[in-house]
Structure 1
Amino acid sequence: MKQETHTVKKEFIALMAILMSLVALTIDAMLPALSQIGTSLQVADSNDSQLIITSVFLGMAMGLIFYGPLSDAYGRKKIIYLGIGIFILGNLLSIFSNSFPVMLAGRVLQGFGVASCRVVSLAMIRDQFAGPQMGKVMSLIMMFFIMVPALAPSVGQGILLFSHWRAIFVLVLVFGLICFFWLHFRQAETLVPEKRIPLSLASLKAGAAETLKHPVSRSYMLASGITFGAFLGYLSSAQQILQHQYQLGELFSLYFGALALAIGLSSFANSRLVMHFDMAKLCHWALIVITVTALAFYCYVEVLAEQPSLTALMAYLAVTFFSVGILFGNLNTLALHPLGHIAGIATSVISSVQTFISVLIGGIIGQLYDASVVPLVLGFFFCSLSTLILIYRTRKTSAI
């Protein structure tokens, strides 16, 4: 019986990771194709091609607020089915797009649909785990999840060698169908009927108000949004920095994947660390590392007065992303921890606010790209410093 439970738990972790990774595949598989898509759809400013990435997050921010309350009322699985269906429609719109606005509309729709996989998966995890155990599960999921952004750009690059960029969207569509059928046939519903919350405007307002007013949840929600904003700035400009500025060409996907593995490694380390150390303290030290290394690297670039070497940039980003990996699972866990009784609504509100903040910050950082790494480095510095101050103040009043 114990062996069977252990196997089920491993499959649950794998399925949650696959569902969450649908977001990463939707974004990262497209990175090598941004220039080709921009040329094909006659995008005038190369920075505008970044909108192919940020538009997905915009759609997610709009969708996240709905799926949690719906899953609290009708169960988790049905709402993921709905989201994947919308996601597939968005993919079809992008596949057959013949203009940039239509492409962006499809990407927003993809983000709106795939938001269900993110928010409802978190609620399913919270249904079964809490505290350090949830932190451990989240870190293990992140460890598996991170393999997708590590490999997705290489897959996208490989497709471009033999086919059109539209074929990448076909691959993503097939992946969405796999998620749908795996969930349907292999995962039981995690929210039993007696624990469901009838959908009503009053319950939505009450749940949202409780989430936003809770000082601990609010602080960690803002912290994760700011932190991910800096990372979204990297995602938006990574292709321009690595593929063009550093002239990596087709090797871009390998370097991007190597940096993604740094996050995977830290997520694995975090799955052990959270069982022995305070999660808030781990976040505190991770933010100190990001802040100090960003400041040091900015000073190095200014003293150098020229483009830093690729080796130096990769070393800096590897340290930064290892620290970011510590933050991803822990900040979400800390934000959701006090709100297990309204996990669906709370996850929706937290995730939606996080994403809106990150889209705003990441979009600004990406648009400031000027053929140098300075906007990105300063983005990490100011975001981590402000988050560090927020976390420090929260830790003084929280016993989590």
Structure 2
Amino acid sequence: MPARPAPSAPLREIEFVGLMAAIQALQALAIDVMLPALGHISRDLNVTDPNERQLVVGIFLICSGLGSLFPGAIGDRFGRRPVVLSCLGVYVAISLASALVTDFTALLILRGLLGFFTSGMMVMPMAIIRDRFSGDRMARVQSLVAMTFMVVPMLAPTVGQAVLLVADWRWIFGVMALLAAGVAFWTFMRLPETLHEEHRQTIMPRTIIGNMVAAVRCRAALGYFLGASFIQGALFGYINSSQQLVAEHFGAGVLFPFVFGGMALVMSGTNFVNSRIVERFGARRVSHMATIAYLVVAGAHLAWAMSGETLWVFVPLMTISMCLMSFISANYQSIALQPFARTAGAAASVMAFVRLLLGALLGTLIGQAYDGTARPLLAAMTVAGVIALGLVLYSERGVLFRRLNAPARPTVNPKS
């Protein structure tokens, strides 16, 4: 990987947030930009089962989860910057290859490879943020990154729809490659190495496994990243089935990208609100209240759906749930990473592995359970909320609403 001296002008927070968001957003782009094209892809590649088209998204998510187990340990040894640049290069190459496929199975293989080999684009920004920040300030920065990142889900289906208006669906992969090349250039020119020399780890299986086991055994973190996995699984379930549910069942049709994007825009605004309040109230208090509210809203929405609903009932209630997911995701992630300053890469990897793989598997199952109504999705969301609340109570030893920087116990052992 070519080396480059640190930029003469250091990254200000606004550029840092933008760059971290851009790196992560390419992963979201690989999911959401495809949604308007799923019908076109299934027709061109002779896919007969309407639910099978969801695998273009589901396979990518599952392989992203599997792949995320590795980049953290590599980043803890060689640094964050080489991993990010390598992932971006692979993203460009596989996107271009995907534009040339003539077989649905080949497309799924390429989607799996893309997810696996570019998973570091989700893992490394988490580690880089932890390198630079801690505590509730880390939660604030993560919320700002998530806010910027969420602009992509807002725009991606519209971009995909715009491409389809003037070109074949294959050109969507060309757009992905072009955007990734631009982010790679920005990263190469402006991102310094953030891993402290004294924190570099050896590439020894025993060390890597030990660091990952320590992350999994940390009670203070375990409930949060497992809880985030179930909430993310519910969100992935919505993404997987959104085109069928919103465009077809509720009849949004060509308005689907705008409905989907509008919901993402509101969700993005929620992250901005979180960034403004989290340092005042603390990540724990904000996320605990959001979890309880999410559970109430999801349960009420399910009850409403049992007697039937329209698009204009579904969209507001689902948007509220997505906003609460934003509060939960950003703060759970920051709380879970807090104990791991020296091994942030390994911790971020194992957490991303569990969150993405479990979330993707759950999301795929939820998507495949689609029965022409919103009821399977809403039932899964309600169950996910119950499980997440129980896991948080486990990590917090039954006590909610404590401040992140004010633990109840004077000593915290990561293995306790």
Specify if TM > 0.5. yes
Contact 1:156 1:168 in 2 (8 A): yes
CA distance in 1, matches of 2:363, 2:343: 29
2:230 is the counterpart of 1:229: no
Q: Which residues of 2 match residues 1-400 of structure 1 at below 5 A? A: 8-302=12-306, 304=307, 306=308, 308-396=309-397, 400=404
Q: Residues 117-175 of structure 1, C-alpha deviation per residue, up to 9 Å, x if partnerless?
A: 11011111111001111000000111111111001100100110000000001000111
TM-score scaled by length of structure 1:
0.95
Q: Which moved more, 1:250-259 or 1:385-394?
A: 385-394
Contact 2:250 2:311 in 1 (8 A): yes
Structure 1 regions of 5+ residues with no counterpart?
A: none
Displacement, 1:7? 6.4
State the SS of the aligned residue for 1:338.
coil
CA distance in 2, matches of 1:81, 1:187: 10
CA distance in 1, matches of 2:202, 2:186: 27
The structure that is helix-richer by fraction is: 1
CA distance in 2, matches of 1:125, 1:204: 21
Contact 1:31 1:153 in 2 (8 A): yes
Contact 1:89 1:109 in 2 (8 A): no
CA distance in 1, matches of 2:10, 2:297: 40
The amino acid of 1:117's aligned partner reads M
RMSD in angstroms over aligned alpha carbons? Answer: 1.5
Contact 2:62 2:361 in 1 (8 A): no
Contact 2:20 2:145 in 1 (8 A): yes
CA distance in 2, matches of 1:5, 1:171: 30
Alpha carbons of structure 1 residues 200 and 178: separation in structure 2 relative to 1, 3 Å: same
Displacement, 1:332? 0.8
Contact 1:32 1:157 in 2 (8 A): yes
Contact 2:199 2:342 in 1 (8 A): no
Q: Residues 322-356 of structure 1, C-alpha deviation per residue, up to 9 Å, x if partnerless?
A: 10110121111111111121001110011001111
Contact 1:50 1:237 in 2 (8 A): yes
Q: Which moved more, 1:65-74 or 1:274-283?
A: 274-283
Displacement, 1:375? 0.7
Aligned length: 394
- Detail structure 1 runs of 4+ shifted over 4 Å in the superposition: 4-7
The amino acid of 1:322's aligned partner reads C
Contact 2:93 2:177 in 1 (8 A): no
CA distance in 1, matches of 2:138, 2:331: 9
Contact 1:88 1:176 in 2 (8 A): yes
CA distance in 1, matches of 2:109, 2:94: 8
The amino acid of 2:346's aligned partner reads I
The amino acid of 1:108's aligned partner reads G
Structure 2 regions of 5+ residues with no counterpart?
A: 1-7, 405-416
Q: Residues 91-124 of structure 1, C-alpha deviation per residue, up to 9 Å, x if partnerless?
A: 1331111111110111111111321111011111
The amino acid of 1:51's aligned partner reads L
Contact 1:94 1:169 in 2 (8 A): yes
Displacement, 1:397? 6.1
CA distance in 1, matches of 2:379, 2:199: 46
Displacement, 1:281? 2.3
CA distance in 1, matches of 2:181, 2:11: 24
CA distance in 1, matches of 2:225, 2:301: 28
CA distance in 2, matches of 1:112, 1:372: 32
Displacement, 1:395? 2.2
Q: Percent identity?
A: 31
Q: Residues 302-328 of structure 1, C-alpha deviation per residue, up to 9 Å, x if partnerless?
A: 2x3x3x111110111111011011012
CA distance in 2, matches of 1:8, 1:333: 21
Alpha carbons of structure 1 residues 285 and 367: separation in structure 2 relative to 1, 3 Å: same
Contact 2:208 2:346 in 1 (8 A): yes
Contact 1:22 1:114 in 2 (8 A): no
Q: Residues 15-56 of structure 1, C-alpha deviation per residue, up to 9 Å, x if partnerless?
A: 001001011111111100011111111111111111111111
CA distance in 2, matches of 1:125, 1:385: 30
